[in-house]
Amino acid sequence: MVRTNNVTELIFSGLFQDPEVQRACFVVFLPVYLATVVGNGLIVLTVRVRKSLRAPMYFFLSHLSLVEISYSSTVVPKFITDLLSEIKTISLEGCVAQIFFFHLFGVAEIFLLTVMAYDRYVAICKPLHYMSIMNRQLCYILVAGSWLGGFFHSIIQVLITIQLPFCGPNVIDHYFCDLHPLFKLACTDTSVEGVVVLANSGLIALCSFLLLLSSYVVILLSLRNHSAEGRRKALSTCASHITVVILFFGPAIFLYMRPPSTFTEDKLVAVFYTVVTPMLNPIIYTLRNTEVKVAMRRLWGKKENSGMERNWESD
């Protein structure tokens, strides 16, 4: 049970106050969210259907795309509908649930990105042993570990939140429920809880980011012994991953590795990693990955050809 005195419903202040600006944001963000779901969904479908994408890298990529859909859907649909509402409300229980799933999928993505960096390290630095190391069983364990890591992280965040008493103001200075804005509404000192969040969220992001950077330093150093064509292919694959890592970890470290301050810039940064980044990931991976592009073309080309063949048979 959430310990409350007289607060059962919360009100979001939203991203902007001007109704015209909010309607303009609705027109912009709705297509972005649809593109996120469709783009990442296509990657999941293509990897599952095409036998040419059975390598561990694509197995991890499909799970990353699934996480992106879930992560964005935790926040964005509610955010978009609220843009057309004068009063943006959410129940306290709904707020806690949003915090749980937001951090579950966010940390699962952090661990998946780390797993993908390890996969690239083994593929480039130990190519002869790649298939024996990155076997099917290990891939399943790494993915399951990513989801479990996100789950346990979120449980800690929720246990912190449900112990707080909320008895005063009920307006959250944000467009979705997150820990620091919610802590400001608690009618008790939350400095200890803030330190726990800093340790739980910020250190996960920072340590994973440093681990990722270290792995890519080792990869880049090892590429000196590869042929020019091998370096080009490896760098093309790694560039996509590094771009996604920077886009995701930059805002996360900015928000969770410092004490909470004014939330104006925080809300704008949050828009980037909740709305924009999940849409960019499938674009980044498909534009720089020839195998994924070819597999998508063949998948949809095959469907069209199958339809034509059925029409010819009926004739």
Average pLDDT by stretches of 10, the chain with 315 residues: 64 86 92 93 86 83 93 94 90 91 92 89 86 92 95 91 83 87 84 80 79 83 74 72 79 68 70 87 73 71 46 37
CA 301 to chain centre: 30
- Show the CA angle centred on residue 177, arms to residues 13 and 260, nearest 5°: 85
**Predicted TM-score (pTM) of this structure:** 0.84
pLDDT of residue 3: 52
pLDDT of residue 1: 43
Sheet arrangement for strand 171-172: 88-91, 9-12, 171-172
Torsion on CA atoms 214, 205, 245, 212, rounded to nearest 10: 10
One-letter amino acid of 312: W
